[in-house]
Each structure stands twice: as structure tokens, then as C-alpha cells.
Structure 1
Amino acid sequence: MGEFELIRNFFAAAPCAQGGEGVALGIGDDCALLSVPAGEQLAISTDTLVAGVHFADPCDPFLLGQRALAVAASDLAAMGATPLAFTLALTLPHNDASWLQAFAHGLNLMAQQCALRLIGGDTTRGPLCLTLTVFGRVPTGQALTRGGAQVGDLLCVGGELGNGAGALPLVLGQRTAEPAIAQPLLDHYWSPKPQLALGQYLRNKASSALDISDGLLADCGHIAAASSVRLRVEREALPLSSALLAFLGQEGAREAALSGGDDYVLAFTLPPGELPGVLAAHGSVRVIGQVLAGQGVVLVDATGRDITPAHRGYQHFPETP
């Protein structure tokens, strides 16, 4: 099977590649064409996932297809964007029809859940690597950004933290657990649910936002830097799942929530007056701290004591002393 037959059989024929609202021209030409209504802006984000770095190799291709697109779509949620389309650049070590069929099935399932249309991409030969670019639309001036947090705002998250990091020992085969504990964690890791509806709801309400991918403390540092404020995180307020607590214990669960990454849950700052409406519309939201004058991120215990750890999250290229 050649490159173009591969594209035609596994991707161009998929339901998610059949066009839709906002897609004027999809797969088959030198470029795709997107239509954005007047008064709206195009939101664009690219994610690369490398075998052995971002996911175990080998792994289930169906689950990988789901995860790859969900991770990318989470960036649209963080900006409050409505999903439009995506492209896929796929580098493969060899042409395996059964692998491709399973991967395309998982990709298509997540694409339909996120209302994203596949509009093009590229295929090449080499070490397994996936690059996805997602496109969304947002009313002009209403995109959520990392800059804008104000002193006195509440620091909130969209739901439970640490489940993705908690699943990692299970994914890597380092530990086992009974299904009632393992499955919720594995489901979160392999099929994260981008908080697209929450992101769109927060337009004109939240003062800043991002999605948690590298760890709560590390990612909150981006908001603090972009907004020139200090974020105070209250350890006792972290929302932790029963499965995570059963698997890692309280201290391990807290560490996973604070610095583990792979949550793909929104973190955002919110004027206090907006909180009742947000909670009524999205009951999974939790307040975990507040915005203060100053800079950086501080973690405090129940007494208010500073217990900020040195390790705050994942970095591909750690800073050298």
C-alpha cells in the first residue's frame, strides 16, 4: 500500500474527514480552506507526540488515536474556542494496515466527540511521531489567554487533578491495581475529555485560563508570569479522585495533582462574583486558591504555611544550574 492509498483508505474516507460547518475545502488539494464568520478569530494550536517520550511504544493504536487528538483539542478549550478542524502529520516506521485501522478508528471517534473535521496533513516514513494542528473559532476579543488575572480573583480548576499522572505506572507496566481503581485512571490517561464547553462558557467571565498538561504548579506559573501576579494554591482544596487516593495514597495523590501533568483540565482565574454562575453551569469546577499581588506560585498547607516544592512539573529541557 502506497502513501496515497494509505491516506485514502484510512483517513480521507473517515466520517470525520467528510467536511462540515466552517470547512470550505478538505482533503485532496494542496491546501484546505476554512471559513470563519465575520467578527470571529481563528484559534490555532499544534502538538507533537513522540513515541517513547509522550506515549509508551508499543501501545494500543486505538487508544493512541483518541489521546493524540484529545490532547490537541484541549488547547482549544483553554482559549474558549469552538472546534473547527484539524490536520495530522503522521510519521510511521512501517506500513501496518491493522495498526492504521485501529489508530484511525480511535482518532475518528475523538474527532466526532470534539466536533473536529480532518482536513489534511502528511505521511512520512521514520520513527513513530504524530503532529496534530487544531483550528477553532472564537468571537473577536473574547479568547481566553494566560494574561489578565487580577488581584482578588479566585484560582479555579475544571475538575479532578492527578488522574493522568496517577495512571502512568499502570501504562508503563510498573504497577497493577484492581479494575475498579485502575480503569478510571487509565480512561483519563488514554481518553481525556477536553473541557470545550467549559472553555466556551468562561468567555467574558474568566480573567485568564490554560489547560493543565505539565503539572498544576508549573502551568499556574505561566498564568502568574503572563499576568504579573502571584498565585496561591491551597493544598487541602485540591480535588482528588477516590481511585487516585486508593492507588497512590494521600501524599502520592497530591504530588500527582501538583506536578504530574497529563490532566488536560482547565485552570483559570475568576472574579468572585462570577463563581455562582460557573458552579451552576459546571458542577465539576473547584476553587483551589486565589490571585495575590507579587509574582510566582506558592503552595500552602491548611495553616497557610509555604510548602512549595522544588519540582513543579514536567520540562522537556530542564534548566541547568
Structure 2
Amino acid sequence: MLAEFDLIRRYFTTAAAAPSSANPVALGIGDDASVLAPTAGQELAISVDTSVADVHFPADAPAHAVGHRALAVAVSDLAAMGARSRWCWMALTLDERRFADDSAADAWLSDYAKGFLAGCSAYPAALVGGDVTSGSLAISVTVAGEVPAGQALTRSGAAVGDVIAVTGSLGGGAGGLALWQRGERDLTHPLLRRYLLPEPRLEGGMALRGLASSVMDISDGLIADLGHIRRASRVDAALDADALPLADGLEEALGTEAARRAALSGGDDYELLVTLPPSQLARAQALLGNMGMALTAVGRCVPPGEGDEASCAGITGWQHFTSAPGGQS
């Protein structure tokens, strides 16, 4: 395998990783630190996300999907803040034992870089630095975006009476993981794509600025992530489980009951969980609809202690150190 700095130059110092007029960088890859040029009047939203082999993704997943997914799940946090994606840093830990020879390493790294850098172009997020080291396969991605001053979306603004809504559909990530564990490897399958090639809802998050009272991305499951909003906003929630928008093919793959459970707690959906005043629901639905993105009401915020837990009895989301490994974030 190439030495550290040769590896960085070959696979990650490319035109696809370079800054553009939309993402200006005063100093990027190649120095001890990045020097950025934030836009006047904007605040920075910064998040870091770590993906570990056989915890967050299968170690034998296609390398381009590993690269895409590592960036996409980090960028999803910017979407939840209503931020525009600008820059990213990537720290890659490689397990040298998995590569029998240099050609195997080159094939994996080329494919991984293709997936990661395609995401850099799509979102967009200029790759401005990072690190490469040896150890068990893991990727840490830090992302930074911009949001107009005072307009960042948070978890703490929900109020009693607000509608609880979700973008897109739910359960696809968990459904894709289940299919992978059964041996399905066709990445054209919509559920596998939802799991291994998620797409952050950046445009949706920006459109919700000024309309939503609170937002989170759904990474650990609807119930778990709604719990964060409940605690931060000091409200409770009444959900309508029958209103949950299920991912296409989920019931056929898992059965009705398991599909409902996947939508409530499966995680890895990277949709947006939104609360907003009832008066703003139609406007938000229209704005997102123009982007081809559904926004479905699935419940409402109620006073603390008045939530209906019956539809969620015994259902929790993913939590590190308490959940069994299996590919959840």
C-alpha cells in the first residue's frame, strides 16, 4: 500500500475535491490546517460523524457506497440545521490486513474515492483536509455549512399544538439492512439504495427555515430522534402510527408488522423529522412538493405527560453501547 501522503495525493487531491467559486477556500489540502472564507452574514454549522465497519455499514459493502454513505450521513446533519453545505474533512482509517496486495488496495481506494468525491460534487462540499491512518476500517467526516444568522433550525423550538411531520418515507434503511443480511447485493434495489446510498435532504432543510419550529434528521429511528426533540423542547408527542409513510417495497420485504416497526425505530433513513405550527403545514408541503419531496403529518406535540405511548410500546431506536451491532447509525 502507498505511504500516507502518497495515498492522499493519488486518491483525494483531485479536481473533484478542489474548491469552486461556490465553495471558496483560502488554503485547502496540503497544509497543517485549512483556511476558509465564510460568507458575510452567515453563521457556521459544523458536525462530525464517524462510520465504523460492521457497526454503521457492512465491511464488505462496495467501496463506492462506503465513501458515498460516509459523507452523506454527515451532510444530513447540516440538512437538519437548515444549512447549505460548504466544506468537509475526511479521516480514513484503513485495515491493511484486508488487502492481499497493492492492486487490491488500489481497487478499493479508487472506488471509495469515487463515491466520496462524487458526493463532494453533488452536495456540494469541498474536501479541504483530513487524515489517513492504519487500524480497523472507519471513516470520520466533519462537515461545515452556512446558515443565515439567527435562522439555524434546532431541536428545541417545538410547542404544544405543533404538527409532527416527516419528509419522504420511513423504514427504507432498516429494510435495506435486512435484505443485505439475507444476501441481497443488487444496489439497484430501492431498499438497498436507501441503506447504502442515502441522500441528505439539504434543499428541504433550507426550505424549512422560518417555517419549522424544530428539525432533526432521522438517523437512529423516528422514536429515538423524536425523543430528542421532546426533551429539548419540553413537550410530549402523540403519534399516528397508521399515518407513517412506508418506503416502497418495505411491507413486501419485511411483512406489515415488521415494516411498521422499521419505520418507527429502524434508523438509517436520513429523512427530516419536523415540527411546525399547523398554519405552516400546507406552505411547507407545497415548498417541498415543488422539490419532489413529500412532507407527511404523523402526529402532534402535546403537553408533557399526555403523549400516547401505546403505538410505540417497547419500541426504541439505535443507541451505541446498548444496541447489538448490525449497521445502524
- TM-score normalized with structure 2 length: 0.90
CA distance in 2, matches of 1:4, 1:112: 23
Instruction: List 4+ stretches of structure 1 deviating above 3 A.
Output: 295-299
CA displacement, residues 34-64 of structure 1 (integer Å, 9 cap, x when unaligned): 2222221110000011111111112210111
Query: More displaced, 257-266 or 243-252?
Result: 243-252
CA displacement, residues 172-208 of structure 1 (integer Å, 9 cap, x when unaligned): 2x2559x79x700011111111000010011111000
Q: Does 1:314 align with 2:318?
A: yes
Amino acid at match of 1:165: A
Q: Which residue of 2 aligns with 1:70?
A: 72
Following superposition of structure 1 onto structure 2, how do residues 44-193 of structure 1 map, counting pairs within 5 Å?
44-94=46-96, 96-172=105-181, 174=182, 176=184, 183-193=189-199
Distance 1:296 1:64, change over 3 A: farther
Query: More displaced, 11-20 or 200-209?
Result: 11-20
Please tell me whether the aligned partners of residues 239 and 311 of structure 2 are also in contact (alpha carbons under 8 angstroms): no
CA distance in 2, matches of 1:195, 1:291: 23
Q: Which residue of 1 aligns with 2:255?
A: 249
State which of 285, 300, 304 in structure 2 corresponds to 1:294.
Answer: 304
Please tell me whether the aligned partners of residues 79 and 199 of structure 1 are also in contact (alpha carbons under 8 angstroms): yes
Please tell me whether the aligned partners of residues 165 and 274 of structure 2 are also in contact (alpha carbons under 8 angstroms): yes
Please tell me whether the aligned partners of residues 18 and 126 of structure 2 are also in contact (alpha carbons under 8 angstroms): yes
1:257 aligned counterpart, secondary structure: helix
CA distance in 1, matches of 2:63, 2:117: 12
CA displacement, residues 149-184 of structure 1 (integer Å, 9 cap, x when unaligned): 011110010110000001112222x2559x79x700
Alpha carbon RMSD of aligned pairs, Å?
Answer: 1.8
Amino acid at match of 1:90: L
State which of 263, 274, 278 in structure 2 corresponds to 1:268.
Answer: 274
Any unmatched runs of 5+ in structure 2?
A: 97-101, 324-329
Distance 1:310 1:296, change over 3 A: farther
1:12 aligned counterpart, secondary structure: coil
Q: Which residue of 2 aligns with 1:15?
A: 16
Amino acid at match of 1:9: R
Amino acid at match of 1:260: G
CA displacement, residues 117-171 of structure 1 (integer Å, 9 cap, x when unaligned): 1000000011111000000011111100000101111001011000000111222
2:259 aligned counterpart, secondary structure: helix
Paired positions, count: 310
Q: Which residue of 2 aligns with 1:302?
A: none
State which of 199, 209, 220 in structure 2 corresponds to 1:203.
Answer: 209
Amino acid at match of 1:222: H
- TM-score normalized with structure 1 length: 0.92
Q: Which residue of 1 aligns with 2:326?
A: none
1:71 aligned counterpart, secondary structure: helix
CA distance in 1, matches of 2:204, 2:163: 16
Any unmatched runs of 5+ in structure 1?
A: 300-305
Sequence identity (%): 46
Distance 1:112 1:296, change over 3 A: farther
Please tell me whether the aligned partners of residues 40 and 140 of structure 1 are also in contact (alpha carbons under 8 angstroms): yes
CA distance in 1, matches of 2:17, 2:203: 20
1:110 is displaced (CA, Å) by: 1.4
2:78 aligned counterpart, secondary structure: helix
1:318 is displaced (CA, Å) by: 2.4
1:245 is displaced (CA, Å) by: 1.5
1:295 is displaced (CA, Å) by: 4.8
1:69 is displaced (CA, Å) by: 0.6
State which of 31, 34, 48 in structure 2 corresponds to 1:32.
Answer: 34
CA distance in 2, matches of 1:116, 1:297: 40
Q: Which residue of 1 aligns with 2:200?
A: 194
CA distance in 1, matches of 2:312, 2:62: 37
